[in-house]
Amino acid sequence: MVHVRILVGDIESDKARKLADITETFSGGIIHVTIQQNFVLPWVPENALPALYAALRDVDLAYTAADTFEDITACPGADTCRLGITSAKGLANKLTVDMSNGLSEFKDMAKNLKIKISGCPNACAQHVAANIGFQGGSITRDGRTVPSEMVFVGGSLLGDDTRLAMPLKKVPTRNAPKVVKKFLKLYQQEKQGDEHFDLVMKRLGAPRLKEELEEFTHIPSYEEDPSFYQDWGHEEEKFELQQGVKGECAGATVEEKIPTFKDAEKHLERARALLHHGDFKASMLESFHACSASGHVPLYTKLVDPFTPEQTMWEFENMLVRTGEADQKWLDIAARLKDNINKEPTEELAEEILQIASDIHSESQRIQINLTQA
Ligand code: SF4
């Protein structure tokens, strides 16, 4: 199997056509796409390797270090994804440059580690399963928006030893390359023998690691350093959050509809009418849709746009209740609603779910006011 490294997962169409021709010659026209955003050509005869290398080099696709620390995974991010907050590719490109200037001394030691960068919490680059992961976000400083990264550390995809990374701290995106260097220095200083990076990080623990990152959380004023207010790869642009933008992410294949409380109110009205006419099952379903339509409004403001009512209630719990923005009494609301609407419909149950829908509507309006005033 021959791995062809595709820098940050992007390949131009003319190179892709040439690569298709190469696969005809060397791997029977078969090519696989990997989760590291590279290509793999299977079943290449060993004696064909020099000729294959030369063919790849001729089309500028013979980059070394596929699937190693240097080979960073990044999602489309804010460049082309409508949900993206920061430019994952911009940061990945910056780190790729640093690999030969600033991070080169660590390349051998860190060879098997992975950096993965997602432009938002949806984690399409799987940053939660990376040794060092970044998740795009934003911070407000003096009324200006600063691109930021939530830093994750210690995650791996290692079969039975697969681990989720620990979320640590939000730092301005400008400091993300310094964070990578800091982790590598820590690893160099603290590792005992052949100890794996993840185990060292686990041993040091989240409180210590958060302390180590503290120096990178400072955001200078715009006058002191305007670069903190720009994203990597977008140095000439003002950073701002965008909504309602179409993009290449799978989410864009469904119609974009901005959720409003009016939608929720229509469902509530219908649920009341159906209850009045004794159609308890239909009333319960309308109430469920009212819950989801209400919760969708503040979620959308946080750039979370779930596809189904079930996902919306799950995200409501995850992104609003668990973060403390919604009342803790809603902690198990997704499972509670799912459970209730599958029960035998009765008047009492329909009234109960309607009351829940009405309360979630008020709660979502309260959260929305807080979010828009923040
Ligand atoms: S939705 Fe996925 S592809 Fe889009 S920015 Fe978020 S993580 Fe990246």
Same-domain check for residues 166 and 18? no
In a shared domain, residues 224 and 268 = no
Q: Report if residue 276 sits inside a domain.
A: yes
- Is residue 21 assigned to a domain? yes
Residue whose CB lies within 8 A of the most ligand 1 atoms, among 8, 35, 82, 83, for a mutation test? 83
pLDDT of residue 166: 95
d(C-alpha 118, C-alpha 163), whole Å: 18
Q: What are phi and psi of 324, to 5 degrees?
A: 90, 0
Q: Are residues 92 and 212 in the same domain?
A: yes
52 and 77 in a common domain: no
Q: What is the pLDDT of residue 258?
A: 81
**Residue 138: in which H helix or E strand, if any?**
strand 132-141
Segments forming the whole domain that contains residue 81: 73-229
Q: Which two tokens stand for residue 89?
A: 């590719």
Contacts of 78 (CB under 8 A, 6+ apart): 84, 85, 86, 87, 88, 119, 136, 231, 242
Tokens of 37: 């955003």
The finding on whether 249 has its CB within 6 A of some atom of ligand 1 is yes
Question: What's the structural domain count of the chain?
Answer: 3
- The reply to whether 155 falls in a domain is yes
Helix (H, G, I), strand (E, B) or coil at 147: strand
The reply to whether 120 and 213 lie within a common domain is yes
Of 266, 115, 130, 113, nearest to 191 (Cα)?
113
Q: Which residues pair with 33 in a beta bridge?
A: 39
Domain CATH code at residue 156: 3.30.413.10
In a domain, 68, yes or no: no
Q: Return the best residue to mutate from 91, 124, 299 for the ligand 1 pocket (most ligand atoms within 8 A of CB).
A: 124
- Per-residue pLDDT for the chain (374 aa), expressed as one digit of tens each? 999 999 999 999 999 999 999 999 999 999 999 989 999 999 999 999 999 999 999 999 999 999 999 999 999 998 888 788 899 999 999 999 999 888 999 989 999 999 999 999 899 999 999 999 999 998 888 888 899 999 999 998 878 888 899 999 999 999 999 999 999 999 999 999 999 999 999 999 999 999 999 999 999 999 999 999 999 998 877 776 654 454 555 443 334 468 899 999 999 999 999 999 999 999 999 999 999 999 999 998 887 888 889 999 999 999 999 999 999 999 999 999 999 999 999 999 999 999 999 999 999 999 999 998 86
The answer on 54 and 90 residing in a single domain is no
* Ligand 1 nearest-atom number relative to CA 119: 5
Report the nearest atom of ligand 1 relative to the CA of 82. 4
Length of the chain: 374
CATH number at residue 8: 3.30.70.3340
Specify whether 77 is located in the same domain as 203. yes
The residue type of 159 is: G
In this structure, the answer to whether residues 158 and 77 fall within a common structural domain is yes
On whether residue 143 sits in a domain, the answer given is yes
Distance (Å) from CA 361 to ligand 1 centroid: 28
Is 198 contained in some domain?
yes
Contact 149, 134 (CB under 8 A): yes
Residue 270 inside a domain? The answer is yes
CATH of the domain at 284: 1.20.120.330
216 and 89: one domain?
yes
Q: How far is CA 364 from CA 185, 323, 333, 361, in A?
A: 45, 14, 13, 5
Q: How far apart are CA 249 and CA 270, in angstroms?
A: 34
Whether residues 101 and 43 share a domain: the answer is no
The tokens of 248 are what?
A: 């290449």
Backbone angles phi, psi at 350, to 5 degrees: -60, -40
Same domain flag for 30 and 151? no
Residues 275 and 355 in one domain: yes
Residue 199: what pLDDT?
A: 93
